[in-house]
């Protein structure tokens, strides 16, 4: 056994076999990342990149709390979005996997449509609907509500609504798959052992769909950290999130080193949170 392992590492063919994958990873993932990192030590002057190799950009980032406020706001919005999505997706996915099994294909097709319809279009659709003179207020006033009941457009609530709306299918799909994988006889066994419906959910269904909840959470968190459309369109650009800040830094301010540094900070913090999350989730699973 031992000999086999060492031999496989010394296998000269191994490098040849691994070469395509290594090349692809290097050119498409590691090299851009490295270039981004190098970029943070340069400066731009007169819309031109200057190779200066100093820490000016990093000094700016760590001295201005503004950037960190935006980062904190971004993380807060992403986490709120994860929680809302999971809470909404659980009953929907459960219903799909159990009650509406007969319409499974139709419902899946509809959700897929929601996926592939352009997010920009849908987000602007919400603006029309939530506007002071929009569809929502029109309908509500029609049934007797005072005018302009719906007045949360261009606030964080509207941003959150847009994020949840666009990212919910990811949670539904991951949770649906894990519920669908649960052997029906496990639920029957719980009933047989004396469990009420609620108890069977709590003791069997919920623990067994945890992998789907974890996967959906990570996916939505990472996508949620990167949203720029919703805060701009639905949030009215009043409290920008990190992705919008980075876009502005690159495009409007043409400060590439700062944009690169902000990108790296966001990436590192997001990855750190995901790792922390999976560690905690993993520990919980080992404990039960």
Chain contacts with other proteins (rule: CB under 8 A): 183, 185-186, 188-196, 199, 203-204, 207-208, 285, 288
Could you give the CA distance from residue 228 to residue 244 in angstroms, rounded to a whole number? 5
Minimal distance, residue 81 CB to other proteins, in Å: 27
**Minimum CB distance to other proteins smaller for 188 or for 268:** 188
Q: Which two tokens stand for residue 195?
A: 């469990």
Shortest separation between residue 100's beta carbon and other proteins, angstroms: 19
- For residues 54 and 192, which CB has a smaller minimum distance to other proteins in the complex? 192
Residue 277 CB, shortest distance to other proteins, in Å, is: 19
Taking alpha carbons only, the member of 204, 232, 201, 221 closest to residue 277 is 221
* Cβ nearer to other proteins, comparing 93 with 204: 204
CB of 194 to other proteins, least distance (A): 4
Q: How far is the CB of 286 from other proteins (least distance, A)?
A: 11
Q: Which is nearer to other proteins, 125 or 207 (CB)?
A: 207
Least separation in angstroms between residue 85's CB and other proteins is 23
Nearer to other proteins, 20 or 194 (CB): 194
For residues 67 and 241, the answer to whether their CB atoms sit within 8 Å is: no
DSSP the chain: -HHHHHHHHH-HHHHHHHHHHHHHHIIIIIHHHHHHHHHTT-EEETTEEE----SHHHHHHHH-HHHHHHHHHHHHHHHHHHHHHHHHHHHHHHHHHTTTGGGHHHHHHHHHHHHHS-HHHHHHHHHHHHSTTSHHHHHHHHTTPPTT----TTSHHHHHHHHHHHHHHHHHHHHHHHHHTS-HHHHHHHHHTT--HHHHIIIIIHHHTHHHHHHHHHHHHHHHHT--HHHHHTSTTSS--HHHHHHHHHHTS--HHHHHHHHHHHHHHHHHHHHHHHHHHHHHHHH-
CB of 198 to other proteins, least distance (A): 11
Phi and psi (nearest 5°) for 76? -60, -45
Give 21 or 288: the residue with its C-beta nearer to other proteins: 288
Taking the least distance from each CB to other proteins, the nearer of 121 and 287 is 287
């Amino acid at each position: 056994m031992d000999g086999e392992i060492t031999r496989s590492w010394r296998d000269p063919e191994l490098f040849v076999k691994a070469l395509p994958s290594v090349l692809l990873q290097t050119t498409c993932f590691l090299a851009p990342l490295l270039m981004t990192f190098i970029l943070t030590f340069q400066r731009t002057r007169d819309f031109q990149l200057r190779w200066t190799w100093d820490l000016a950009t990093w000094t700016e980032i760590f001295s201005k709390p503004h950037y960190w406020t935006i980062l904190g706001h971004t993380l807060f919005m992403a986490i709120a979005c994860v929680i809302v999505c999971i809470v909404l997706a659980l009953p929907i996915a459960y219903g799909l996997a159990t009650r509406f099994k007969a319409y499974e294909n139709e419902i899946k097709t509809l959700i897929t449509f929601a996926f592939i319809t352009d997010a920009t279009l849908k987000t602007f659709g919400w603006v029309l609907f939530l506007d002071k003179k929009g569809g929502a207020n029109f309908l509500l006033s029609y049934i007797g509500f005072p005018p302009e009941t719906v007045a949360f457009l261009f606030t964080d609530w509207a941003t959150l609504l847009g994020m949840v709306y666009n990212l919910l299918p990811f949670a539904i799909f991951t949770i649906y798959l894990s519920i669908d994988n649960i052997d029906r006889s496990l639920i029957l066994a719980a009933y047989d052992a004396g469990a009420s419906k609620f108890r069977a959910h709590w003791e069997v269904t919920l623990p067994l769909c945890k992998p789907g909840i974890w996967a959906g959470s990570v996916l939505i968190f990472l996508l949620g950290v990167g949203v720029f459309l919703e805060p701009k369109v639905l949030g009215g650009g009043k409290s920008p999130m990190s992705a919008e800040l980075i876009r502005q830094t690159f495009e409007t301010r043409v400060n590439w080193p700062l944009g690169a540094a902000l990108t790296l900070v966001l990436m590192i913090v997001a990855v750190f949170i995901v790792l922390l999350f999976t560690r905690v989730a993993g520990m919980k699973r080992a404990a039960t």
